[in-house]
Amino acid sequence: MTNHPNGTSDGRIRWGILGTGFIAGLQTQDLIENGFTVQSVGSRTLESSTAFGEKYSIPSAHGSYEALVADPDVDVVYVATPHPFHHANALLALNAGKHVLVEKAFTINARQAQEIVELAEAKGLVALEAMWSRFLPHMIRLREIIGEGTLGEVRKVMASHNQNLPKDPAHRLNDPGLGGGALLDLGVYPVSFAFDIFGAPETIRASAAMTATGVDRQTAAIFEYANGQQAILDCQLDAAGPNRAVVIGTEGWIEIEATWYAPTPFTVFDVDGKVLERFDQPVNSRGMQFQAAEMERLVKEGATTGTILPPRESIAVMAAMDEIRRQIGLSYAADTASQDNGSGNGND
């Protein structure tokens, strides 16, 4: 069995954290616990960034995103604001000459994603989507098993992401003005997983039920491919589920346990249900250090794209989500807005 990277760092690359919310704290903790250098943090207020910096013993704190990206001691900016602000924040950092690790959903739509990727390419910088599940050891091993032909011809992927999240109409998850809804927050995981296994679909069929505020409460989609493969995907933001995933082939299947997109075991069965392999590798910290390790690898090698999640695949994922939203009747202001100026709008 292949040895998998442990997600550690030699500390030479210096990280800046843009945003001080919940997800920023999770990523920062994983960085620190695995030897990464977290150099600086930036927020819309100095008070917020100072408090965050003190909590995680970060050397410098800035009272604006502009000041953070201008910090000469920062090499990579982790964009941890909510997804409606990823586009502006990533452009801001790229224009300052910084590599960017951008939380998922990568953007609101494919147009924004393309603008980020094209700017990064033009500047020779890395723009990597922080779809952390792609980089986890169990997902690396799963791709190896599929590549080895153990499952035969892979025919079907099924993946769910259902959570019982805040129902307050004013919460960002339920606010169309903040890109709310199940799809962009939760559905991006199964959509990205389908791309990981099969690539971009030929056709998409989607259905949804909406909240009173006009965002999708639950969404289901079927991706169909040229050779008859299917990906059956669903998400929901107001009811919890087992959050398991299955990959089915002509010679066997893989069952990924809850929660499938986080570090978790999986079992490989042959076509008769006999266990062929049980993968259960302990992971230090939460597991978000692996995407950071990939970012550092790319930066050190002078590469702008890797094979696990190429930036242009992030564009394609957003395009698929645009099509799902078109079919379910969910649009956002950013879908019709002209390109924003990267001025550092955001939300901690």
Q: Per-residue pLDDT averaged across 72-89, rounded?
A: 97
Sheet with 203-210, strands from edge to edge, namely: 203-210, 216-224, 230-236, 154-162, 245-249, 252-256, 266-270, 275-279
The reply to whether 113 and 175 lie within a common domain is no
What pLDDT score was predicted for residue 342?
Answer: 42
Torsion angle of the four alpha carbons 310, 316, 318, 319, in this order, in degrees rounded to the nearest 10: 170
Indicate the pTM of the whole model: 0.94
CATH of the domain at 191: 3.30.360.10
The answer to whether position 147 is within a domain reads yes
Packing angle of the helix pair 188-198, 137-147 (nearest 10 deg): 30
**Neighbouring residues of 338: CB distance < 8 A, sequence distance ≥ 6:** none
CA–CA distance, 66 with 18 (Å, rounded to integer): 10
The reply to whether 84 and 162 lie within a common domain is no
Q: Per-residue pLDDT averaged across 220-246, rounded?
A: 97
Per the prediction, the chain carries an average pLDDT of 95
Q: Which residues span the domain enclosing 202?
A: 137-279
Q: Count structural domains, the chain.
A: 2
What pLDDT score was predicted for residue 338?
Answer: 54
The yes-or-no verdict on residue 270 having pLDDT over 60 is yes
Q: Per-residue pLDDT averaged across 205-229, rounded?
A: 97
pLDDT digits (tens, 9 = 90+) for 45-73: 999 999 999 999 999 999 999 999 999 99
The reply to whether 116 and 49 lie within a common domain is yes
The yes-or-no verdict on residue 343 having pLDDT over 50 is no
What pLDDT score was predicted for residue 217?
Answer: 98
pLDDT digits (tens, 9 = 90+) for 167-216: 999 999 999 999 999 999 999 999 999 999 999 999 999 999 999 999 99
The answer to whether position 89 is within a domain reads yes
What pLDDT score was predicted for residue 8?
Answer: 87
The reply to whether 78 and 188 lie within a common domain is no
The reply to whether 183 and 251 lie within a common domain is yes
Three-class secondary structure of residue 156 per DSSP: strand
pLDDT digits (tens, 9 = 90+) for 127-174: 999 999 999 999 999 999 999 999 999 999 999 999 999 999 999 999
Q: Per-residue pLDDT averaged across 265-269, rounded?
A: 98
Question: In the structure encoding, which two tokens stand for residue 107, read together?
Answer: 């953007």
The yes-or-no verdict on residue 3 having pLDDT over 80 is no
Of 130, 145, 166, which residue constitutes the final position of a domain?
130
What pLDDT score was predicted for residue 5?
Answer: 58
The reply to whether 253 and 144 lie within a common domain is yes
The reply to whether 118 and 18 lie within a common domain is yes
